[in-house]
Amino acid sequence: MWRDALLVAGKDLRIERRSRVTTNQVAPFAVVVLVLFAFALDPDRGVLTRAAAGLFWVSVLFCAVLAVQRSFSVEAADGARDGLRLSGLDPAGVFLGKAGAVAAQLVVLEALLAAGVVLLYGTDLKGGVVLFATCAAATVGLAAAGTVYGVLSAGLRVRETLLPLLLLPVAAPVLLSATRAWEAALGTGGGVGGAGPWLRLLVVFAVVYVAFGVVAFGALLEEA
Amino acid sequence: MWPDRMAPAILFRSAVVLLGRFPALAGVDFEVDAGEAVLVQGPNGAGKTTLLRACAGLVPLVAGEATVLGHDMRRDRRGVRRRVAFLGHATHLYDDLTVAENVRFAVRATGGDGEGLSAVLERLGLDGRLRDVPAGRLSAGQRRRTALAVCLSRAPELWLLDEPHAGLDGRGRDLLDDTVRAALGRGSTVVLASHEDERARALAGRVITMAGGQVHHEPGRRGATARPGKPAHVA
């Protein structure tokens, strides 16, 4: 399973490196979202600083939708999904590989967005450990849930519009928990100690979706 | 492990496959011996592609029985896939990966280490400059040859070829025919559906005809005509 996961993740990341969709399209999109939030809430810079955590995670969520869509659109071209099914790869390995590749892209985008909230919103990134722990748990959860719903919508003609409709409501707990944890770390919503329960919720979400994906991805891939 | 040459590589009994609500296979009886080459003919929409996809475990049976390389296709469709090569209308290639990367990915997916990769690419005329060209920049014929290289590199026991000559130039068609003959020489089983009558008949030892999602049997055997040099037995 792990060998197959590394194989699939390597393949997806190589495709991303070649096509540069993440760097040339998703990353600029993420920056544009941050800038638009700034336009909408300016000139009151205080609002931007207080809302930075929420705006950051909403932007991450939008990027996650794009990354997942891209991950499955490469499988839709020229029957590649049938090729993946015929390959004989362990479906759990395929799931972990695709989720891992999405997670790797999200980490890069989160770093870019973090720099964006510092520069555009004047946010001081305090509480580094909590921020990193939140990013790690939320990224795993979003990548896993995204991959589950990505394969679910992959075989449908309306997949581009269906995926956000499926994924965004499901990812609401991640948005809520990650925002509260970041607010606690940044000092815009209680002390650092308040981040604990939200971090635990993020970990539970990630564990549940990783486990569900490992077990169910094969059946979902067959049905898609 | 190679299948017993006497045991059927493929055995379908009253097999039904639905595409939506439409019965693409409507009670198919079909049998192919291990090491045999069978040509499936019929008009468009007869069910040829669905039959090949069912053999590859890509579509589920809703009724009837099917065994492919010893795998019960109603219980274990996935198990057979590693032992099968399917060359269909789509090439299953990733546009952003090079020819060599596409083939290497397929080989590693089946547990191989890509050792014979260069030999496969050379054999199909994909070595040299073409080796490092992204699949998205290949011509239709070159894509088809790359897909054939993927099939060949997997060293399958069962070849399922759906219009394999389509999109290939004369040399490509010769390469394909040579590859199929070599596979048969190694004991592989081949089922192909083709409208290229002359070439396909030269490859196949037996011809069956499909229409309306059913195999139309010929006298003497379930869907069989005698193979030159190898008498057909009655199933």
Identify which of A11, A78, A85 has the shortest CB distance to residue B81. Answer: A85
Q: Could you tell me the pTM of the whole model?
A: 0.84
CB contact under 8 A, B109 and A218: no
Classify the C-alpha dihedral A168-A150-A13-A211 as positive or negative. positive
> Nearest Cβ partner of B134 from A18, A74, A77?
A18
Rounded-to-integer distance, Cα A178 and Cα A59, Å: 12
Q: CA torsion, points A53, A95, A29, A121, in degrees to nearest 10? A: 10
Nearest to B232 by CA among B23, B33, B25: B33
What type of residue is B171? Answer: R
The closest alpha carbon to B126, from B172, B87, B92, belongs to: B172
Domain B8-217: which CATH number of 3.40.1350.10, 3.30.420.40, 3.40.50.300, 3.40.50.10170: 3.40.50.300
Q: Would you place residue A219 in the very low, low, confident or very high pLDDT band (cuts 50, 70, 90)?
A: confident
Name which of B58, B81, B97 is nearest A88 (Cβ-Cβ).
Answer: B81
Contacts of B69 in chain A (CB under 8 A): none
- pLDDT, position B101: 92
Residues of B in Cβ contact (< 8 Å) with A85: 58, 78, 81
Nearest CB among A7, A85, A87 relative to B58 is that of: A85
Q: Which residues of A touch B133 (CB under 8 A)?
A: none
CB pairs under 8 A between A and B: 71
Amino acid A218: pLDDT? 87
Enumerate residues 55 to 84 of chain B having a beta carbon within 8 A of any beta carbon in chain A.
56, 58, 60, 77-78, 81-82, 84
Task: Return the DSSP state at A29.
Answer: H
Bridge partners (DSSP) listed for residue B63:
B16
Which pLDDT tens digit goes with each residue over A90-144? 899 999 999 999 999 999 999 999 999 888 888 888 878 888 999 999 999 999 9
Which stretch of A31-35, A73-77, A129-133 has the lowest confidence by average pLDDT? Answer: A73-77
How far is Cα A96 from Cα A216, in angstroms, rounded to an integer? 12
Stated length of chain B: 235
Nearest to residue B84, comparing CAs of A83, A214, A11?
Answer: A83
- Whether residues A86 and B81 touch (CB distance < 8 A) is answered with yes
Question: What end-to-end distance do the CA atoms of chain A give, in Å?
Answer: 21
Ordered per-residue pLDDT tens for chain B, 235 residues:
444 456 788 988 888 988 888 988 888 888 888 889 999 988 888 889 999 999 998 888 999 898 999 899 888 888 888 889 998 888 889 999 999 999 999 888 887 776 778 888 888 888 888 888 998 898 888 899 999 898 888 888 999 999 888 888 888 888 888 888 888 888 899 999 988 888 888 888 888 888 888 888 654 454 443 343 343 333 3
Distance from CA of B227 to the nearest CA of A (A): 30
Q: Is B89 on the interface with A (CB under 8 A)?
A: yes
Best interface-test mutation with A: which of B55, B71, B81, B92 has the largest number of A CBs within 10 A? B92
CB–CB of B96 and A87 under 8 A? no
- Non-local (6+) Cβ contacts of B220 within 8 A are B226, B232, B234
Distance between CA atoms of residues B184 and B182, nearest Å = 5
Look at chain A and count its residues.
224
CA distance B223 to A116: 68
Interface contact A11, partner B, CB < 8 A: yes
B114 touches chain A (CB under 8 A): no
Q: What are the residues facing B214 on neighbouring strands? A: B211
Q: Summarize pLDDT for B187-225 with one digit per residue, the tens.
A: 899 999 988 888 888 888 888 888 888 888 654 454 443
Structure tokens at B135: 């699949």
Distance CA B222, CA B219 (A): 7
Q: Does B109 touch chain A (CB under 8 A)?
A: yes
Q: pLDDT at residue A205 above 90?
A: yes
DSSP-derived secondary structure for chain B: -PPPTTSEEEEEEEEEEEETTEEEEEEEEEEEETT-EEEEE--TTSSHHHHHHHHTT-S--SEEEEEETTEETTT-SSTTGGGEEEE-SS----TTSBHHHHHHHHHHHTT---TTHHHHHHHTT--GGGGGSBGGGS-HHHHHHHHHHHHHHT--SEEEEESTTTT--HHHHHHHHHHHHHHHHTT-EEEEE-S-HHHHHHH-SEEEEEETTEEE-BTTBTT--PBTTBPPPP-
DSSP state of A220: H
Span A135-163, average pLDDT: 86
Cα B159 to Cα B166: distance, rounded to the nearest angstrom:
16
Assess: ipTM above 0.85. Answer: no
- Token reading at A129: 């450990």
Instruction: For residues B120 and B150, give the distance between their C-alpha atoms in angstroms, rounded to a whole number.
Output: 9
How far apart, in whole angstroms, are the C-alpha atoms of residue B13 and residue B30?
7
Structure letter (DSSP) for residue B162? E
**Model pLDDT, residue B231:** 34
Beta-carbon separation of A87 and B93 below 8 A: no
**Proportion of chain B above pLDDT 90, given as a percent:** 16
- pLDDT at position A224 is 65
**CA contacts within 13 A on the Cβ side of A2:** 0
